[in-house]
Chain A
Amino acid sequence: GAVVSQHPSRVICKSGTSVKIECRSLDFQATTMFWYRQFPKKSLMLMATSNEGSKATYEQGVEKDKFLINHASLTLSTLTVTSAHPEDSSFYICSAREWGGPYEQYFGPGTRLTVT
């Protein structure tokens, strides 16, 4: 199946700083990517839909100024957690579907963010 990568896999940052997480589709082009977050022992919660060349669509309750999403190319979407606080500590996961391909989506391995 198609491969989605994320970088970094783990990051620890201090409260008040910003952190950027990259999501790449390695062997396919993706016009749409999705960002999820997952707290311990909980399910994945969709944060936003990232469309190449346009503004992201955020789910209700997700602050767009706090979680900045940029989808600059067909293979790269970034999520920046701005002014991070300890409650932003979570597992962030992206997913993508190949443009024009089958309907299944492929997920990245996730990024573990810890804010101290």
Chain B
Amino acid sequence: DAKTTQPTSMDCAEGRAANLPCNHSTISGNEYVYWYRQIHSQGPQYIIHGLKNNETNEMASLIITEDRKSSTLILPHATLRDTAVYYCIVRAPLPGGATNKLIFGTGTLLAVQP
């Protein structure tokens, strides 16, 4: 699976949009981009994933560049509860619908400030 590069940490003011970047310049054509977050002492939480189109759900938006070498996770109105480590992971699906493993990097610690 392709490696990803994320900033170690970021700050964001409460109520503002948080934009978390991720570089995945060696991504392959069949690899998806996944975002998870982990609040302190909890299991990771799925946020969103995409292949090439931008995606939006109730939690966040995912913007993937046209060349797919980078992406940005956007939390439109950050709250204090969004303080967490955010992981960007690229992963290819396995044949037959089997589940491929998720390999976590170091992620970005997002600190939402009051």
Contacts and interface: CB of A to CB of B under 8 A. Distances in A.
Nearest to B97: A100
A6 B70 CA distance: 34
Interface string A79-116: 00000000000010101010010011111111010000
B107 A43 contact: yes
- Counting contact residues on chain A (CB < 8 A from B), the size range is 20 to 34
Nearest to A33: B99
Given A6-B43, A107-B44, A109-B43, 12 more contacts: A43-B87, A44-B44, A46-B103, A46-B104, A49-B101, A91-B41, A104-B34, A104-B46, A105-B46, A105-B99, A106-B46, A110-B43
A34 interface: yes
B102 interface: yes
Contacts of B105: 43
Nearest to B38: A44
Interface string B18-54: 0000000000000010101010011111100100000
A1 interface: yes
B113 interface: no
